[in-house]
Amino acid sequence: MGVEPLIAAVRGGDARLTGALLDAGADPDAVDEDGTPALCLAVDAFDVPVVDVLLGQACLDLAAPDGRTPLLRAIDRGACEITESLVGYGAKLWIADAEGRDALALARYWHETGVETELRRRSGSPQVARRTVRRSYSRTSCEEMSSGGLTIRDGHTAVLTSLELLYGIRPSFDELLSRALAEPDVDHEVWWATVSTLVKRHDPTVWDAAIGLCDRSDPLERCFGADVLRCTNLFDEDEDTPYDRPLVDLFLPWSAREPDPRVARILTAGLVDTQDPRTDEVLRVLSRHVDAEVRWWATNGLGTNREKEHFSAARGGGAA
């Protein structure tokens, strides 16, 4: 007996064919020879495009024979982006695995145990055989680890942080900071998860705590503080833009003395976000920075500011 065409397309990572088969009437809940649903197979393969195609039609909570739903499989594998998609589409958080752990408890278990420790325990191997950095479609990163035929990504702490928000759990600023600092790659998923969690609180004490990091000796702490400040301003929906001026007041002198390019990128981007004419002089200096990304932000910011000036002048001229 041949393999179900939809299962073959999912296994082959062919999102276009998967979509075409669904449009032609294929069962979105088709299972393989072991009874594993198509969506679970796509989750196991970390295949975001195929998962996205299936999400609109497949049963989100259809479990494989081992009792794990697609959401529990995504969390177990540390697939942060897929977890967020499943939750966004309404996957049930309360369904538990064979050990009685729901989505939040499973994510917390991995966070507390440690990815390498749990991977070695499950694989029975004392070493992690392969490590690969993976980039998501949103440009965040994670590390993929393989051992004994098992492949896991280290997105569990990011998943935990995102789920806590849904459960109304509020870890302290220092706790979220420590989660980010545990990962030295500032593009890692956990950095975005912790920063965005703090920004969504709309709490003035978060702004103050972030300012308190600007003079720390550890560049990663400065990076976290700068990112929280920048994102607080960037995603603020108040038409009066209450954070623009204080952010420029803080970032202008900071950018002049900041030696670490990772921090300088955030500071430059934050200054550009404001489109404040006071930033022009420092952006001209930053356009000659040794770091290419800093130069890119500064150059684009200068162009945006000039366009804004020309638009304002044109409006003024027309009014006259």
Mark whether 212 and 187 lie in a shared domain.
Answer: no
- Burial tier of 268 (Cβ tally within 10 Å: 0-12, 13-18, 19+): buried
28's tokens: 């979105």
Contact (CB, 8 A) for 104 and 157:
no
What three-state secondary structure class fits 60?
A: coil
- Of 144, 165, 200, the residue at which a domain comes to its end is 200
Last residue of a domain, one of 170, 200, 230: 200
Is residue 234 within 8 A of residue 273, CB to CB? The reply is: yes
Check whether residue 171 and residue 147 sit in a common domain.
yes
Residues 94 and 47 in one domain: no
Please check whether residues 178 and 73 belong to one and the same domain.
yes
pLDDT (tens digit, 9 = 90+) per residue, 120-171? 999 998 888 788 999 988 889 999 999 988 999 999 999 999 999 999 999 9
Question: pTM to 2 decimals?
Answer: 0.91
Domain boundary among 59, 81, 106: 59
* Residue linked to tokens 């400065």: 222
Structure tokens, 80: 């942060």
Q: Whole-angstrom Cα distance, residue 303 to residue 307? A: 6
| pLDDT tens, residue by residue, 3-42 | 799 999 999 999 999 999 999 999 999 999 999 999 999 9
For residues 214 and 2, give the distance between their C-alpha atoms in angstroms, rounded to a whole number: 62
Secondary structure, 3-state, 121-134: HHHCCCCCCEEEEE
Record the tokens describing residue 317, joined without a space: 């001229």
What domain range includes position 296?
202-319
Q: What's the confidence (pLDDT) of residue 318?
A: 43
Number of domains into which the chain is organized: 3
- Shared domain for 221 and 281, answered yes or no, is yes
Of 43-57, 153-167, 254-268, 294-308, give the lowest mean pLDDT range: 294-308
Signed CA dihedral, 48, 27, 69, 85: sign only:
positive
Are residues 223 and 273 located together in one domain of the fold?
Answer: yes
DSSP string, 107-166: HHHHHHH-HHHHHHHHH--SS--EEEEEE-TTS-EEEEEEETTEEEES-HHHHHHHHHHH
Pair (74, 196) in one structural domain = yes
CATH number of the structural domain spanning residue 52: 1.25.40.20
